[in-house]
Amino acid sequence: MMPRRSWEDEELVLLRDNARRFFERECVPHELRWRAQHHAERELWNKAGAAGILCASIPEEYGGGGGHFLHEAVICEEQWYALSYAFSNNVHSGIVAHYLLAYGSQAQKQRWLPGMATGEIVTAIAMTEPGAGTDLQRIRTHARREGDEYVINGSKIFITNGLHADLVCVAVKTDVNAGAKGVSLLMVETAGLKGFRRGQPLDKIGQKMNDTTELFFDEVRVPVENLLGGPEGEGQGFRQLMQQLPRERLIIAVGSVALMRRAIDETLAHVRERQIFGQALMKQQNTRFVLAECETQARVAQAYVDDCIARLQADTLDVPTAAMAKWWTTDTACRVVDACVQLFGGYGYMTEYPIARLYTDVRVGRIYGGANEVMKEIIARSLEQG
């Protein structure tokens, strides 16, 4: 179980209990089927909405839970601890909803946020392309203005929630000659949209139950009022993306600590039971030292992440500090899970065991949300500048 945090008041404890029960009841029993088909059923989003899991940190006037980052953190911890990534609430409530809140017009917020909170509208964010991931300035998906519409051509890859998304925040080039200043964010409503197509869910090595797809745009027309940031929003996409990154990276760090916690809990249960050379595996000095190291790493990570959360709440979380949290927790989580798998022996290699699934689930943390090499570059640049 995730331990109660120093910052957790009674309301957050109730939210945590509610989220834990939701994932145990609505997700865990269906995991096998969802992993096989690489996605969950669409109705799961409506159930999550009804249970108060979605848009917890969005103001009540837009249908959200009226909470703040702590509410998102508690839900994220419970979802990742349960290994129930069947729908990416982090992308939906933690990222897209906050883009709308920060840059959306009043009309855009009123139009989309309430539906996002109930699960009637599922969202995704589409930046990555086959030829441009880390180096986002290279994106080629293009939107040309024609009267009151933008016409989009291009494709996106690795898009989380892509299969069910009703609304996609798409990074496009509105000026191909302006580099980063030519990037804009367009909100694309997918229902019955001519020229829009999605690929089958991609077969990933981990987090298999979460749908990740390609999206294709062929002369797709969206009204100009779907531009994020109003009439001035053209060319602001890169800046908008950068501003939201510390928050997004912190949520990955929050989830990564929950994965460490789950790995250690699973392993403790196993080594206490497993008999070897006439005693519990826990009694072997190596087991004791490995778990002592894992526990220390998890607690140190937790302390740093809690400090980042406090900074975010105080609006003082800077980009390098969030980058440190992202690279260190994702790297450490991979090391902790790997050490735990070893203590399971052959059972740690069988997907029937949560620890084996954790081994592949955890790996993506070092790649997405900005590759860890990029995090180190950001930190180094801040050191260079003093």
Ligand X SMILES: Cc1cc2nc3c(=O)[nH]c(=O)nc-3n(C[C@H](O)[C@H](O)[C@H](O)COP(=O)(O)OP(=O)(O)OC[C@H]3O[C@@H](n4cnc5c(N)ncnc54)[C@H](O)[C@@H]3O)c2cc1C
Q: What is the spatial distance between Cα 199 and Cα 92, in angstroms, rounded to a whole number?
A: 20
Q: How far is the CB of 136 from ligand X (least distance, A)?
A: 8
DSSP three-state, residue 383? helix
Distance of alpha carbon 88 from its chain centroid, rounded?
A: 6
CB of 56 to ligand X, least distance (A): 20
Residues forming the site for ligand X (CB under 6 A): 91, 124-128, 133-135, 158-160, 204, 212, 364, 367-368, 371, 373-374, 377
C-alpha distance from residue 339 to each of 275, 280, 290 (Å): 19, 18, 7
Task: Establish whether 248 is a catalytic residue.
Answer: yes
| Nearer of residues 71 and 363 to ligand X, judged by Cβ | 363
Smallest distance from the beta carbon of 37 to ligand X, in angstroms? 16
Q: CA quadruple 312, 318, 321, 325: dihedral positive or negative?
A: positive
Q: Minimum distance from CB of 159 to ligand X (Å)? A: 5
Q: Which of 31, 72, 248, 266 is catalytic?
A: 248
Question: Among residues 20 and 208, whose Cβ is nearest to ligand X?
Answer: 208
In the 8-state DSSP scheme, what is residue 202? P
Residue number, 38 or 109, with CB nearest to ligand X: 38
End-to-end CA distance of the chain: give it in Å, rounded: 41
Q: Which amino acid, residue 333? A: A
Residue 283 and residue 278: Cα distance in Å, rounded? 10
Q: Considering beta carbons, is residue 126 or 294 the nearer one to ligand X?
A: 126
Cα torsion through 31, 35, 39, 43, rounded to 10: -20
List active site positions.
248
